[in-house]
């Protein structure tokens, strides 16, 4: 399935990496970025100097500041804007004829939850209310252990393409059959989305633990593995409570695979945020979690787990399930408990 036209909505690190590897694989790729400097750098320097610095990009990748141009008349459209802005971004393209008639197959890379008037929702649930009815149960959610830096460098990466429409899952699997990617199909769109969002919460706590372990003999590799296992258990508990359909989702690359790389990789923003909480006192300027989310751009990078933990706390209370690690990060970011005190409480 070479030579397809693809639009990428979102010029961050992950969107750029996906755009680059698909363009390198022979597809015609156009990427929309909000920032003019990103568009200019991609088109003229062939590098995303803001979000993916130091990695040369395919000459076949073109960027634009016109979102309708990027989304119009494409065989495939891939959404990668941050969850905080995804719904309002997608609302700008719903009147495009190729979207209105459903002829463009749409996949989603964004991880997290989206707030609504009736509470936090999974990403595909919200997008189905924003996009034309043709996309109801036809969207494809793409996730897996996939740091943008390594994907862009062509290092072999495995992904899951999940959809309630198996044909669309297979279409994306075939589209992404390019050097550097292995893609597997799944029907468990809820489970894959939960894994993608909740693992960021565990990774922030993992970063805290990792930094504290450098400063004392209290914790070590054994402790980190204990936290990973406990974190995976919470992700599975949340997943099944929200309607996940396949237990193997949590033991696949969508679950344990993505959790492990997010927690341990040097590229992980959420792990970095956890370490910065301990080593850089990065929470000091913020009064509570709401204040942190409102001013999150001041961090200098986006720790998705900080936002996700607010919504998981809301969901867990509504569903009456206990998620000690997720709840613990909420309490830490809300200035209710110190990270070390929480970890001692959790692990004893």
Spell out the domains of the chain, with CATH numbers in brackets: 5-187 (3.40.50.720), 197-347 (1.10.1040.10)
End-to-end CA distance of the chain: 53
Residue 87 tokens, joined: 């719904």
pLDDT of residue 3: 85
Question: Around 39, how many Cα atoms within 13 Å sit in the side-chain half-sphere?
Answer: 16
pLDDT of residue 307: 94
- pLDDT of 2 reads 65
d(CA 167, CA 143): 18
Cβ neighbours for 91, distance < 8 A, ≥ 6 positions apart:
130
Please report the pLDDT score of residue 285 as a whole number: 97
Those residues whose C-beta lies under 8 Å from the C-beta of residue 316, and which sit 6 or more positions away, are 238, 322, 323, 326, 327
Active-site residue identified among 4, 121, 199, 310: 199
What pLDDT is recorded for position 1?
53
| Catalytic-residue membership of 199 | yes
* Beta pairing, strands 140-143 & 157-162: antiparallel
- Extract the tokens encoding 159: 């992904």
Give the 3-state secondary structure of the chain.
CCCCEEEEECCCHHHHHHHHHHHHCCCEEEEECCCHHHHHHHHHHCCCCCCCCCCCCCCCEEEECCHHHHHCCCCEEEECCCCCCHHHHHCCCCCCHHHHCCCCEEEECCCCEEEECCEEEEHHHHHHHHCCHHHCCCCEEEECCCCHHHHHCCCCEEEEEECCCHHHHHHHHHHCCCCCEEEEEECCHHHHHHHHHHHHHHHHHHHHHHHHHHHCCCCCHHHHHHHHHHHHHHHHHHHHHHCCCCCHHHHCHHHHHHHHHHHHCCCCHHHHHHHHHHHCCCCCCCCCHHHHHHCHHHHCCCCHHHHHHHHHHHHHHHHCCCCHHHHHHHHHHCCCCCHHHHHHHHHC
Whats the size of the chain, residue-wise? 348
| Nearest CA-CA partner of 23 in 126, 212, 184, 154 | 154
Phi first, then psi, for residue 47 (nearest 5°) are: -160, 140
Q: CA 68 to CA 166: how far, in whole Å? A: 28
Model confidence over 38-58: pLDDT tens digits?
999 999 999 999 999 999 999
For residues 232 and 251, what is the distance between their CA atoms, to the nearest angstrom? Answer: 9
Average pLDDT per consecutive 10 residues, the chain (348 residues; last block may be shorter): 89 97 97 97 97 96 98 98 93 97 97 91 97 97 96 97 98 97 98 97 97 92 96 98 97 97 92 98 98 95 94 96 98 97 91
Residue-level pLDDT at 16? 98
Which pair of structure tokens corresponds to residue 269? 């923003």
């Amino acid at each position: 399935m070479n030579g397809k036209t693809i639009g990428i909505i979102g010029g961050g690190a992950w969107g750029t990496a996906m755009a680059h590897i698909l363009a390198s694989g022979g597809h015609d790729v156009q990427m929309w970025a909000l920032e003019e400097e990103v568009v200019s750098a991609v088109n003229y320097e062939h590098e995303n100097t803001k979000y993916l610095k130091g990695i040369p990009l395919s000459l076949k990748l073109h960027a634009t500041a016109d979102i309708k141009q990027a989304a119009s008349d494409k065989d495939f459209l891939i959404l990668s804007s941050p969850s905080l802005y995804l719904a309002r971004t997608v609302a700008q393209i719903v009147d495009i004829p190729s979207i209105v008639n459903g002829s463009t197959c749409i996949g989603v890379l964004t991880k997290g939850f989206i707030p609504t008037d009736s509470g936090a929702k999974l990403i595909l649930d919200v997008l189905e209310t924003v996009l034309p009815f043709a996309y109801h149960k036809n969207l494809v959610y793409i996730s897996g252990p996939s740091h943008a830096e390594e994907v862009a460098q062509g290092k072999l990466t495995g992904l899951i393409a999940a959809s309630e429409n198996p044909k669309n899952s297979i279409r994306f699997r075939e589209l992404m059959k390019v050097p550097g990617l292995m893609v597997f199909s799944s029907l468990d769109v809820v489970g894959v989305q939960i894994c993608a969002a909740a693992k960021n919460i565990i990774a922030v706590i993992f970063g805290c633990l990792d930094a504290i372990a450098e400063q004392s003999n209290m914790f070590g590799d054994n402790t980190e593995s204990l936290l990973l296992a406990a974190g995976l258990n919470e992700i599975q508990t949340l997943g099944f409570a929200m309607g996940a359909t396949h237990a193997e989702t949590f033991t696949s690359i969508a679950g344990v695979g993505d959790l492990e790389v997010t927690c341990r990789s040097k590229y992980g923003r959420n792990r970095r945020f956890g370490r910065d909480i301990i080593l850089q006192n990065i929470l000091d300027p913020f009064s509570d979690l709401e204040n942190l989310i409102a001013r999150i751009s001041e961090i200098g990078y986006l720790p998705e787990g900080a936002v996700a933990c607010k919504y998981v706390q809301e969901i867990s209370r509504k569903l009456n399930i206990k998620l000690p690690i997720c709840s613990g990060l909420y309490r830490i970011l809300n200035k209710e408990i110190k990270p070390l005190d929480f970890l001692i409480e959790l692990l004893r």
